[in-house]
Amino acid sequence: MSSSIPETMQALRVSNAGDSHYKLETIPVPNVEGSQVLLKIGAAGLCHTDLMVMDGSFGGVYPIVGSHEPAGTVVALGKDAEKNGTAKVGDRVAALLPKDPCGECSDCKLGDWKYCANVKYGGINVDGFFSEYALVEAKNCVVLPDSLSFEQAAPLTCAGITIYTAIKKAGLKPGQILAISGLGALGHLGVQMAKAMGLKVVGIDARPEPIAMTKGLNLAPDLLIDATKTEADAAKKQIADLREDGYVGWDGADVTIIAADALPAQSYAAQITRRHGHLILVAQPPQLQFDFRNFIFQDLTLSGSLHGNEVNLKETVELVDKFGIISDLSRFKIGQHEEMVDSVHREGRKGKSVLVFE
């Protein structure tokens, strides 16, 4: 390893399932091997999934370094890294998190390793990126444009790519109507992406802070709905007003992406979606609460959407850079990690919490 890379580093680890906070520890810098690259982390995002790692939802191995949203500089290459990717020492990259996809199953062969039964995830089943250095596979790195900061790039590797692939799955043409329910870390990025793609966009939330933040975006939605103030029927009428004159079709959004965990958001989303429309679930709520009528009489289709691959991340980075799409960030240094975790539970929270390294 090069002399500029220290032997130890600071890292935030979950010691045991059920812990409410990370422990700031000094651990060895991992050795780079095979097709891996070593990143000096510039920024790493905190995702809802990280809290599920803390509460033991994934039954993982502890202790474990948190975060699966890394962006940083490549500082060392394994001996096979050059054959397996384009990342070079000195490149600024964002990276995805799969470890050990089998390479043999149908999804691996088709490039959709996210569905591989064998795949493990950084920050979930293997050490993640809340550390000064971390390993990723060369082939899962996407080089960043100079204009994109690490702190803006990090959330794209989970929140950004997840909402981007969900919008692609919606398969809408410019002018069609996409509603996004939940204007948190994913939703407020999604609103901007969908506007950049030429869609008519409806943003829905039940919390004042995300609504105010979304209203202030350069790529703000065409219609912003506070679900605590507007009944679904009234919302559907407002959505109908977004249609071009002469539109022949059904009232309501063509597709609604559910990015909110709150249970009432589900039936609201179903009610504001047009007959024969499509609901796409990216949130991970504790349960689903739909009425059979939504599917039988309204002919809705419900699908889930999961994360994405390197191609999707590259497209996400390009779209974000081209249109100046931004995450509303709260920044924390490693010594403020308790405050960072508490920020997620705080009343009135909005946007994305990111750990930044100097």
Instruction: Enumerate binding residues for Zn ion (CB under 5 A).
Output: 47, 49, 101-102, 105, 108, 116, 158
Q: Among residues 244, 296, 300, which one has the least CA distance to residue 277?
A: 300
Q: How many CA atoms lie within 13 A of 213 on its CB side?
A: 25
Cα atoms found within 13 Å of the Cα of residue 318, Cβ hemisphere only: 8
What pairing do the DSSP bridges indicate for beta strands 200-205 and 177-181? parallel
Least gap, CB of 165 to Zn ion (angstroms): 13
Evaluate whether 344 touches 125 at the Cβ level (below 8 Å). Answer: no
Query: Which residues lie below 8 Å from residue 315, measured CB to CB, with a gap of 6+?
Result: 164
The least CB distance from residue 283 to Zn ion, in Å, is 12
The residue among 108 and 163 lying less far from Zn ion, judged by its C-beta, is 108
Q: Quick one: 114 or 274, whose CB is closer to Zn ion?
A: 114
| Smallest gap from residue 16 Cβ to Zn ion (A) | 21
Nearer to Zn ion, 61 or 110 (CB): 110
Q: Hey, what amino acid is at 315?
A: E
Tell me how far, at minimum, the Cβ of 130 lies from Zn ion, in Å.
13
CB of 187 to Zn ion, least distance (A): 14
User: In the complex with Zn ion, which residue's Cβ is closer, 92 or 114?
Assistant: 114
Task: Answer for the pair 192, 325: CB distance below 8 angstroms, yes or no.
Answer: yes
Q: Whose Cβ is closer to Zn ion: residue 141's or residue 158's?
A: 158
Residues sharing a CB contact under 8 Å with residue 103, sequence separation 6 or more, in sequence order: 109
Nearer to Zn ion, 116 or 269 (CB): 116
Q: Report, in Å, the least distance between residue 136 CB and Zn ion.
A: 15
Q: Where are the beta strands (DSSP E) in 15-101?
A: 23-28, 36-46, 64-65, 70-77, 92-95, 98-99
188 backbone dihedrals φ, ψ, rounded to 5°: -70, -30
